[in-house]
Structure 1
Amino acid sequence: MRRVQYDRYGGPAEMHFGEFDLPLLGRNHVRVAVRAAAINPFDWKLRQGAMKLFMNRSFPKGMGTDSAGVVEAVGNDVTTVRVGDEVFGTMDFKKSGAFAEQVTLDANLVAKKPPQLSFAEAACLPIPAMTAWAAVVDRARARPGSSIFVNGCAGAVGSSAVQLAITHGARVAGTSGPTSMASASAAGVQPIFAYSNKSAYLNGEKFDAVFDTLGTLGVGDGLSMLNPDGVFVDINPTAPRLIRGMVSRRYKLAFATMGIKHLSAIAELACKGALRPAVGVEARFEDALSTLTKAELGPRLSGKVVLLMKT
């Protein structure tokens, strides 16, 4: 089986195609023929070594976490999906390898693909939607009448957060780049501010929650935008931000792993059309190395970059 992998931590030049033997199918595992795999910034951060303290020391390591495809085999204890089912899911980051022809993963990391979504669209759901759910539903407690400010509301995580917040009855304001303001406004973000217009949103209304998807909003600034019982939700916990956040009980962290248990609920919302990912670029699996390099080093694109496998 071919996959994208690397033999040491580093930049894009460390990536290459390699042959890989899938692990034996465990009792709670599923094997999936990958039809599409979505690229997340987390994927190249892993390759750069951002999480190496939590990884084993063996190489090569596979790249990619989110994918969609067709179930080829299931373990004896798996009851949630069957052979032939179309599914989407994510991989434990310690066992990454979704940029591949096949993957083996725990059954609790997959859900049935909404029939309304293409494989490419479904592959874009897991990490962005799980992260947004953990931040907006679990941490920010989006509910009817609440107000949430999303810094970076047009990105993959941000747009998922907007859709989830609105679905749960919250009102959403936020920031975006100039080219995304119209689409964010159409998605229901009001008011919407340009990143450069910082004084307008720092000195404006107060919110029940502020969700910083980009790590560009200072913790102090985020806390200053809150109502007395509001929370600042962060998914970019650098050391300075953690230190600053430790002095406030209103500073909350959210991670994609916290949202894994909500994969089926995410699929249900996608079935209803309440959660729709945006595909920006589709590329052939054969062009994975150049596509990954452009995604990592090039300008930020509107929508997700997806690798498509031959069928």
Structure 2
Amino acid sequence: MKTTNKNKMKAARIHQYGSSVEIKLEKIAIPVPGEGEVLIKIFAAGVNPIDWKIREGYLAELIPHRLPLTLGWDFSGEIVSLGKNVNKWDISDAVYGRPDLSKNGAYAEYIVVSEDEIAAKPKTLSWQKSAAVPLVTLAAWQALKEFSAVKQGDRVLIHAGAGGVGIAAIQLAKQAGATVYTTSSSKNSGFLKELGADVVIDYTQEDFSTLENVDIVFDTMGGDVLEKSWGTLKKGASLVSVAEVPSEALAAKYEVNASFCFVQANSEQLSKISNLIDSGKLTVEIDSVFRLEDIAQAHERSESGHTRGKIIIQVLDEPGS
């Protein structure tokens, strides 16, 4: 039996690892939810650095994928079908989430996910802004609340404060009562101080490594930035990276706790994040919006490293538009 267009969807996939030219927009079968899964119509998806790192093959050993692969691991959308034994959700529920990184992602018109990977999207946010939230805010939440237990009075250094993760981290650290230092270009200084940063260090003019007695370093960059961060920490402090695995030898040398935070899908945490957003305690910033057809350009913008907030893919037209 032939598959009709009604059973097909657009998806941005790669058939081999490489540059953004490897992303192909294709028509493929709409997936069917299994037990404990839901099918979601996607209105918007978020772009994160992990998307192009996976595309390039940098993470092939850490996260083995079967190609072809649909990229993208942030989304907002509406549930359109339920698998067996789904009891948390109903059809037409508005949700958002960070799907399993080992499976096909959200650069597609539909996605199947476990019912435990999603939460009700914030009521006060658009579909686009909702899609900007899950991965970066879960990263900040888990790094600061689980890996380093940020608390009142801590001195916290957050790298790349104007990025999606940084924007969330600044707000969460400030809510915990920390003094927040962040690195950024000077053009974002006012914006980051409005979010709650106490000190914005212009990385083009100033050297953050002169800081001392820092309780927590949250590294989102890796490389030289991570290397220069060790000396800012006091003994017994914490360094958490979402960019690369910190050196155990250097952690021992500086007598600090060092961790790699591999962000986990977490419905309960996403629900708490939705509540923070809807109560006005957490804001979201969108850098730019692209159509699914222009996903390669969106990746190139993300790879430039000069964004403020999240890059969003408008996948399907939103209800009422």
Settle same-fold status: TM greater than 0.5: yes
Question: Counterparts in 2 of 1:256-271, with a 5 A limit?
Answer: 256-257=263-264, 262-271=269-278
Alpha-carbon deviation of 1:30? 1.1
1:57-111 alpha-carbon deviations (Å, 9 max, x no partner)? 6421111111101111222332322211111111211113201111111111110
The correspondence for 1:144, drawn from 152, 172, 175, is 152
- Quote the Cα distance in structure 1 between the aligned partners of 2:190 and 2:272: 28
1:249–1:22: structure 2 CA closer, same or farther, 3 Å change rule?
farther
Which secondary structure does the structure 2 equivalent of 1:196 belong to? coil
Q: Is the 8 A contact 1:121 1:278 kept in 2?
A: yes
1:300 counterpart residue number: 306
2:292 counterpart residue number: 285
2:46 counterpart residue number: 38
Q: Is the 8 A contact 1:219 1:244 kept in 2?
A: no
1:232 counterpart residue number: 239
The correspondence for 1:250, drawn from 253, 257, 261, is 257
1:102-152 alpha-carbon deviations (Å, 9 max, x no partner)? 111111111001110111111011110111111111122112222211121
Alpha-carbon deviation of 1:296? 4.3
Letter in 2 for 1:302: R
- Quote the Cα distance in structure 1 between the aligned partners of 2:195 and 2:143: 19
Alpha-carbon deviation of 1:245? 3.9
- Quote the Cα distance in structure 2 between the aligned partners of 1:34 and 1:19: 15
Q: Is the 8 A contact 2:32 2:39 kept in 1?
A: no
* Ranges of 4+ aligned residues in structure 1 off by more than 6 Å: none
- Quote the Cα distance in structure 2 between the aligned partners of 1:298 and 1:194: 18
1:81 counterpart residue number: 89
Which secondary structure does the structure 1 equivalent of 2:181 belong to? strand
- Alignment of 1:166 with 2:174, yes or no, is yes
The correspondence for 2:214, drawn from 199, 203, 207, is 207
- Quote the Cα distance in structure 1 between the aligned partners of 2:39 and 2:206: 48
Identity, % of aligned positions: 26
- Quote the Cα distance in structure 1 between the aligned partners of 2:85 and 2:95: 18
Q: Is the 8 A contact 1:151 1:217 kept in 2?
A: no
Give unpaired runs (5+ residues) of structure 2.
1-8
Which deviates more from structure 2 when the two are superposed, residues 136-145 or residues 41-50? 136-145
1:134-185 alpha-carbon deviations (Å, 9 max, x no partner)? 1111122112222211121121101110111112222211211121111111
Which deviates more from structure 2 when the two are superposed, residues 50-59 or residues 240-249? 240-249
Q: Is the 8 A contact 1:133 1:259 kept in 2?
A: no
Letter in 1 for 2:190: A
Give unpaired runs (5+ residues) of structure 1.
none
Letter in 1 for 2:282: L
- Quote the Cα distance in structure 1 between the aligned partners of 2:62 and 2:235: 37
1:191 counterpart residue number: 199
1:234–1:70: structure 2 CA closer, same or farther, 3 Å change rule?
same
- Quote the Cα distance in structure 1 between the aligned partners of 2:82 and 2:248: 41
Which secondary structure does the structure 2 equivalent of 1:257 belong to? coil
Q: Is the 8 A contact 1:62 1:98 kept in 2?
A: yes
Q: Is the 8 A contact 1:130 1:256 kept in 2?
A: yes
- Alignment of 1:118 with 2:126, yes or no, is yes
1:215–1:58: structure 2 CA closer, same or farther, 3 Å change rule?
closer
- Quote the Cα distance in structure 1 between the aligned partners of 2:249 and 2:21: 34
- Alignment of 1:155 with 2:163, yes or no, is yes
Q: Is the 8 A contact 1:3 1:97 kept in 2?
A: no
Which secondary structure does the structure 2 equivalent of 1:141 belong to? coil
- Quote the Cα distance in structure 2 between the aligned partners of 1:131 and 1:261: 14
1:190-230 alpha-carbon deviations (Å, 9 max, x no partner)? 1221113444x433442211111222555554232223321
Alpha-carbon deviation of 1:56? 4.9
- Aligned-residue CA RMSD in angstroms? 2.2
1:176 counterpart residue number: 184
